[in-house]
């Protein structure tokens, strides 16, 4: 079974490869689960593979919990309805825990630290450290999720209440807020450095107005960073060409 | 922008890998602009430019929280194209032109992601019978097809970005004065900083994390002032 788990883990790295609006990550989940179902026997194998590829959506790093749990439930003789209900029940929690832990915690925290490192002169070494440290956590989380799902099966909610997950979520939020807070002025200094005094004043005014536009109540639905940046760049280009 | 063919190929391959990493495989965050830009800079022998453009687009990335099926721009290949553009024009002109090319490429990348997901939906829908039969080879075929389409998409976005980089210099560089180039760079960088700050505040919310954000901001200001 270790080989099957290793195969499933490898396939989990590509779980979003066929991302679509019909089954979301379902096809990728089915592909990742398939090695764990091979010893079920002919009568159970194909229906289990088909179930594995049904609609599924969650955080990609924690999907291993659902893959392992569903495969274990199939081995434990759970009925098709029970397996489907287990999958449905896991979508929401795996999405919200993963988003909070990774997208709103681990990733922006390390990104903020890297910005601080670059602004303080660490250069490419800060980027290399980011890649290494981030992926230690990334791979560990994927492996833990798959193992925990396979261990607990239908009782996988036990794993979601793991104290480490709770503590990590509680620590990473403030850590992320602090590091990005520190990174913003240092990054501003780093980016503003090549400009002369007059340009720095323009820079501060434009940044302030742009920030207010993005935070303006009701405007956030239509205006995002890309649209704002493109609009400002186009305006600057027109001004620069008309008034050289 | 005139670059040796081997450098262009290396940038195209890197941009494609970066594009695949964003969603499909393996999400190890080489798609983050900080990483994409630094390696693109290393390929061009110009790491400082790669870092600078990487920082600008990383700030823009803070505006995005990739939860659920949210649509977002693709800043990885965009940063590669931006660095290629900036490398060809020194100083502030390079920064401004690079940011402009990167922003347009990021917009195109975001559109292609949405198109790819719609194409995948149709293919999955068409293969529903095979998938419901539990045929593992059909399942793998649909999945690998999605991966290959994403690779092709990422290559097309990167190639488009590099083409824009090639166009930018003859079209714009000659027409811009130093003041114009500075204005373009200021606009792009100021927007990135605003997007970074606004996105972070959305992430932080109004709860206790806001105090930590304020503490970090104070600490950062102090260090910046002392330097």
Q: What is the pLDDT along chain A (244 residues), one digit of tens a residue?
A: 789 999 999 999 999 999 999 999 999 999 999 999 999 988 899 999 999 999 999 999 999 999 999 999 999 999 999 999 999 999 999 999 999 999 999 999 999 999 999 999 999 999 999 999 999 999 999 999 999 999 999 999 889 888 998 899 899 999 999 999 999 999 999 998 878 888 889 889 999 999 999 988 765 567 889 999 999 999 999 998 887 7
Chain A residues with beta carbon closer than 8 angstroms to that of B103: 226, 229-230, 233
CB contacts under 8 A, A 224-243 vs B, are: 224-226, 228-230, 232-233, 235-237, 239-241
Nearest CA to CA, how far is A129 from chain B (Å)? 11
Q: Which residues of A142-152 are buried (b: 16+ CB within 10 A; e: fewer)?
A: bebbbbbbbeb
Q: How much is the pLDDT for A84?
A: 95
CB contact under 8 A, A18 and B147: yes
Chain A residues with beta carbon closer than 8 angstroms to that of B181: 240
Average pLDDT over residues B79-97: 90
Model confidence, pTM: 0.94
Residue B180 binned pLDDT confidence (cut-offs 50, 70, 90): confident
Among A18, A131, A203, beta carbon nearest to B186: A203
Q: How much is the pLDDT for B89?
A: 83
Residue B141's domain comprises: 5-226
Q: Chain B: residue nearest A58 by CA? A: B68
Q: How much is the pLDDT for B206?
A: 87
Region of residue A19 (phi > 0: left; psi between -120 and 50: alpha; otherwise: beta) = beta
Q: How many domains does chain B have?
A: 1
Q: How much is the pLDDT for B67?
A: 67
Q: How much is the pLDDT for A32?
A: 97
Choosing among A16, A123, A143, A177, which should be mutated to test the B contact, i.e. which has the most B CBs within 10 A? Answer: A177
With an 8 Å Cβ cutoff, is A169 touching chain B?
no
* pLDDT tens by residue, B26-54: 999 999 999 999 999 999 999 999 999 99
Distance CA B192, CA A181 (A): 15
* pLDDT tens by residue, B99-125: 999 999 999 999 999 999 999 999 999
Chain A residues with beta carbon closer than 8 angstroms to that of B215: 178, 181
Nearest CA to CA, how far is B123 from chain A (Å)? 9
CB contact under 8 A, A18 and B124: yes
Burial environment of residue A129 by CB neighbours within 10 A (0 to 12, 13 to 18, 19 or more): middle
CB contact under 8 A, A235 and B210: no
Cα distances from B181 to residues A78, A233, A244, B172, B189, in angstroms, run: 66, 11, 10, 9, 12
Distance CA B66, CA B101 (A): 23
- Alpha carbon B211 to its chain centroid, in Å, reads 30
With an 8 Å Cβ cutoff, is A19 touching chain B?
yes
Report how many Cβ contacts below 8 Å link chain A to chain B: 337
Answer yes or no: is pLDDT of B68 > 70. Answer: no
- ipTM, two decimals: 0.95
Nearest CA to CA, how far is B3 from chain A (Å)? 23
How would DSSP label each residue in B118-171?
HHHHHHHHHTHHHHHTT-HHHHHHHHHHHHHHHHHHHHHHHHHHHHHHHHHHHH
* pLDDT tens by residue, B137-178: 999 999 999 999 999 999 999 999 999 999 987 888 778 888
């Amino acid at each position: 079974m270790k080989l099957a788990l290793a195969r499933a883990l490898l396939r989990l790295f590509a779980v979003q490869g066929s991302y679509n609006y019909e089954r979301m990550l379902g096809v990728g989940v089915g592909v990742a689960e398939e090695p764990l179902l091979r010893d079920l026997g002919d009568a159970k194998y194909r229906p289990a593979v088909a179930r594995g590829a049904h609609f599924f959506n969650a955080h990609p790093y924690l999907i291993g919990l659902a893959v392992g749990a569903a495969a274990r439930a199939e081995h434990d003789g759970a009925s098709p309805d029970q397996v489907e209900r287990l999958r449905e029940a896991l979508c929401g929690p795996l999405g919200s825990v993963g988003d909070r832990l990774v997208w709103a915690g681990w990733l922006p925290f390390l990104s903020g630290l890297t910005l601080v490192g670059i602004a303080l002169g660490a250069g490419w070494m800060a980027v290399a450290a980011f890649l290494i440290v981030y992926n230690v956590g990334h791979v560990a989380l994927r492996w833990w999720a798959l193992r925990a799902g396979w261990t607990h099966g239908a009782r996988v909610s036990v794993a979601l209440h793991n104290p480490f997950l709770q503590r990590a979520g509680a620590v990473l939020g403030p850590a992320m807020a602090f590091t990005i807070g520190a990174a913003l002025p240092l990054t501003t200094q780093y980016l503003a450095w090549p400009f002369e005094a007059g340009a720095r004043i323009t820079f501060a005014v434009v940044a302030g107005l742009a920030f207010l536009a993005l935070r303006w109540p009701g405007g956030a639905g239509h205006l995002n960073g890309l649209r704002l940046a493109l609009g400002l760049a186009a305006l600057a280009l027109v001004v620069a060409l008309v008034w050289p | 922008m005139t670059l040796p063919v081997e450098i262009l190929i290396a940038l195209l391959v890197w941009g494609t890998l970066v594009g695949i990493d964003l969603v499909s495989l393996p999400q190890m965050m080489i798609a983050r602009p900080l990483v994409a830009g630094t390696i693109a800079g290393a390929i061009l022998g110009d790491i400082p430019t790669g870092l600078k453009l990487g920082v600008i687009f990383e700030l823009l990335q803070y505006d995005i929280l990739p939860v659920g099926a949210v649509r977002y721009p693709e800043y990885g290949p965009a940063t590669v194209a931006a660095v290629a553009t900036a490398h060809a024009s020194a100083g502030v002109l390079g920064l401004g032109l690079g940011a402009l090319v990167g922003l347009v490429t990021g917009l195109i990348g975001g559109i292609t992601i949405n198109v790819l997901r719609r194409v995948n939906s149709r293919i999955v829908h068409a293969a529903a019978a095979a998938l419901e039969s539990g045929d593992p080879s059909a399942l793998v075929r649909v999945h690998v097809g999605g991966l290959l389409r994403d690779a092709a998409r990422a290559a097309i976005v990167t190639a488009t970005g590099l083409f824009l980089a090639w166009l930018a210099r003859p079209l714009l560089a000659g027409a811009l004065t130093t003041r114009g180039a500075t204005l373009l760079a200021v606009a792009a960088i100021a927007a990135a900083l605003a997007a970074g700050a606004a996105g972070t505040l959305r992430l932080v919310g109004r709860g206790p994390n806001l105090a930590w954000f304020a503490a970090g901001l104070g600490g950062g200001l102090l260090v910046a002032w002392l330097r």
